[in-house]
């Protein structure tokens, strides 16, 4: 059987994360690596004065990781620059925030070449290679230039933007053309897949074949829809763990009989946190009788702090939550509890379970795993209600949620009221539909679907 090599921007060695804190994706990919006895290659997250291509191998719990350190300039131009300041905002429809700088593009290309150069000698003829995400678009083509004839797949964890937006990126066509080095490209939704296909057909003159494959200049790729899931059995078990039960009890006690609405997100402008606070404020204004009956717990650990936009959003949200609390709080009640830190996943599971409403309202999101975690953590006999943005990839699968337009404060306010008033029978029936999807299309299903497509090429 072929080995599987996973390549991603960051690699977290299996033993390096404290128990309960490792993400579902890392766990799922590690499981795939154990099955196919391959290794996981990428950046260690560490800096070095001079890039040497030295690879640090580690083996833990049956998984081998191979990591490299990057120079400051690489990190600045490739990671903080092109990945986080150019592609991320553009692919989340925020061209107003996208920064187009030659230095970023150059650094991005250089690091992709460094990845290719370093990993190439480790690849054997039968190996299948699975590249993760937008940080590494040109990697497939750099590997081909170095004689790699293996099966190579790419999975995109974020949306694919509309053609007219992508056209604003300098040299977009060159970048997208490199994707034809891959054999399989996976997207979370049909919408992102179709946007990709529209771009390459209209802009590059690629041909959409009858079987759905796409050809350009003698190369054919298979574009598939392959929505990512969570490790559902693991998350359900975690929500019943002692730590989760403790955090659940603590939260219930601190609710003091009030209904809790919870939001859990990385602090990122794509997550729609400002709009969420404003929608909740609208609810407080329209329903003064409900004021002391609810509160919003927003957990938002800072991310990408070296990028200025992320410092700005932090300041903005502190101001906004302070203003709302100042306007509506009373001596015995505060409307928003805004917390800027991360929590272990088992603690989060207990918090989700204690919340009457999960408020997941990104403006644009590839999938959004928090929505699925919220569902998996619920008590089947008394579940909470998921309010979900139509613009999250997850909305395609999670039809039992109350779907809203996050830009409309009125819709958000109406949805909160609907969720608070929803009787138990409806909550259970909606939750069952949600849970059926979260169970059937979990992370193992996702991984198998992608790997099967790759192995079939
Ligand atoms: P992210 O943008 O990081 O991922 P998401 O899918 O919501 O977004 O996953 C976040 C993960 O981080 C969840 O597992 C969540 O539990 C965890 N997390 C969030 N806040 C936390 C906190 N305060 N403490 C601890 N853990 C926290 C990208 C794309 C998404 C896509 C995923 C997977 O942007 O659209 O769903 O990849 O493909």
From first to last of its 457 residues, what are the pLDDT tens digits of the chain? 689 999 999 997 666 655 445 555 777 788 788 888 899 999 999 999 999 999 999 998 888 999 999 999 999 999 999 999 999 999 999 999 999 999 999 999 999 999 999 999 999 999 999 999 999 999 999 999 999 999 999 999 999 999 999 999 999 999 999 999 999 999 999 999 999 999 999 999 999 998 889 999 999 999 999 999 999 999 999 999 999 999 999 999 999 999 999 999 999 999 999 999 999 999 999 999 999 999 999 999 888 888 888 889 999 999 999 999 999 999 999 999 999 999 999 999 999 999 999 999 999 999 999 999 999 999 999 999 999 999 999 999 999 999 999 999 999 999 999 999 999 999 999 999 999 999 999 999 999 999 999 999 9
Separation CA 118–CA 43 (nearest Å): 11
367 lines ligand 1 (CB under 6 A): yes
367 CA → ligand 1 middle, Å: 9
366 lines ligand 1 (CB under 6 A): yes
Q: CATH topology of 4-229+443-455 equal to that of 232-440? A: yes
* Residue 360 contacts residue 370 (beta carbons within 8 Å): yes
CATH number of 4-229+443-455: 3.40.50.2000
Crossing angle of helices 232-239 and 24-36, in 10° steps, is: 130
108 CA → ligand 1 middle, Å: 24
Instruction: Detail the DSSP E strand segments found in 39-91.
Output: 39-47, 56-60, 63-70
Q: Which of 92, 135, 157, 188 is catalytic?
A: 157
430 CA → ligand 1 middle, Å: 23
Instruction: Detail the DSSP E strand segments found in 159-293.
Output: 184-187, 207-208, 214-216, 219-225, 259-264
Find all residues with CB under 8 Å of 115, minimum gap 6, and list them.
7, 41, 42, 68, 136, 139, 142
- Any catalytic annotation for residue 157? yes
CA 116 to chain centre: 25
**Residue nearest to ligand 1 atom 7, measured at CA:** 368
228 lines ligand 1 (CB under 6 A): yes
Residue carrying the six token digits 């763990």: 241
Nearest to 107 by CA among 136, 82, 70: 82
Q: Which two tokens stand for residue 8?
A: 């991603």
The CATH architecture of the domain made up of 232-440 is: 3-Layer(aba) Sandwich (3.40)
Residue 32: predicted pLDDT: 80
302 lines ligand 1 (CB under 6 A): no
Residue spans of the domains in the chain: they are: 4-229+443-455, 232-440
Residue 19: predicted pLDDT: 46
24 CA → ligand 1 middle, Å: 9
């Amino acid at each position: 059987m072929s080995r599987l090599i996973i390549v991603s921007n960051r690699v977290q060695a299996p033993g390096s994360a404290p128990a309960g804190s490792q993400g579902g994706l890392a766990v799922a990919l590690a499981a795939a690596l154990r099955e196919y006895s391959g290794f996981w290659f990428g950046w260690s997250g560490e800096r070095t004065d001079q890039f040497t291509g030295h690879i640090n191998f580690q083996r833990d719990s049956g998984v081998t990781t191979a990591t490299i350190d990057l120079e400051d300039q690489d990190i600045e131009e490739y990671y903080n620059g092109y990945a986080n300041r150019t592609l991320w905002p553009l692919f989340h429809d925020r061209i107003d925030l996208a920064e187009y700088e030659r230095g970023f593009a150059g650094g991005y290309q250089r690091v992709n070449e460094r990845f290719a150069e370093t990993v190439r000698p480790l690849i054997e003829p039968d190996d299948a290679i699975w590249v993760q995400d937008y940080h590494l678009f040109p990697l497939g083509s750099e590997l081909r230039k170095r004689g790699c004839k293996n099966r190579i797949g790419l999975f995109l964890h974020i949306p694919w933007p509309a053609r007219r937006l992508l056209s604003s990126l300098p040299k977009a066509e060159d970048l997208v053309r490199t994707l034809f080095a891959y054999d399989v490209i996976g997207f979370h939704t049909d919408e992102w897949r179709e946007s990709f296909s529209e771009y390459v057909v209209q802009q590059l003159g690629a041909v959409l074949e009858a079987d759905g494959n796409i050809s350009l200049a003698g190369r054919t790729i298979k574009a598939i829809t392959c929505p990512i899931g969570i490790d559902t059995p693991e998350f359900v078990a975690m929500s019943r763990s002692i730590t989760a039960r403790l955090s659940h009890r603590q939260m219930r006690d601190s609710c003091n009989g009030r209904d809790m609405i919870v939001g859990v997100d990385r602090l990122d402008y794509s997550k729609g946190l400002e709009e969420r606070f404003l929608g909740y404020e609208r609810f407080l204004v329209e329903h003064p009788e409900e004021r002391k009956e609810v509160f919003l717990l927003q957990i938002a650990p800072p991310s990408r702090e070296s990028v200025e936009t992320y410092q700005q959003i932090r300041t903005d949200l502190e101001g906004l939550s302070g203003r709302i609390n100042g306007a509506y709080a009373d001596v015995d009640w505060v409307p928003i509890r805004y917390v800027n830190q991360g929590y272990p996943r088992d603690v989060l599971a207990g918090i989700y379970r204690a919340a009457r409403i999960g408020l997941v309202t990104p403006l644009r999101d590839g999938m959004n795993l928090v929505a699925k975690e919220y569902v998996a953590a619920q008590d089947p006999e008394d579940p909470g209600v998921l309010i979900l943005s139509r613009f999250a990839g997850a909305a395609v699968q999670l039809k039992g949620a109350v779907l809203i337009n996050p830009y409309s404060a009125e819709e958000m306010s109406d949805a909160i009221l609907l969720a608070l008033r929803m009787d138990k029978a409806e909550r259970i029936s909606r939750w069952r539909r949600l849970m059926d999807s979260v169970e059937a299309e979990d992370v193992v299903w996702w991984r198998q679907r992608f790997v099967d497509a790759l192995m079939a090429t």
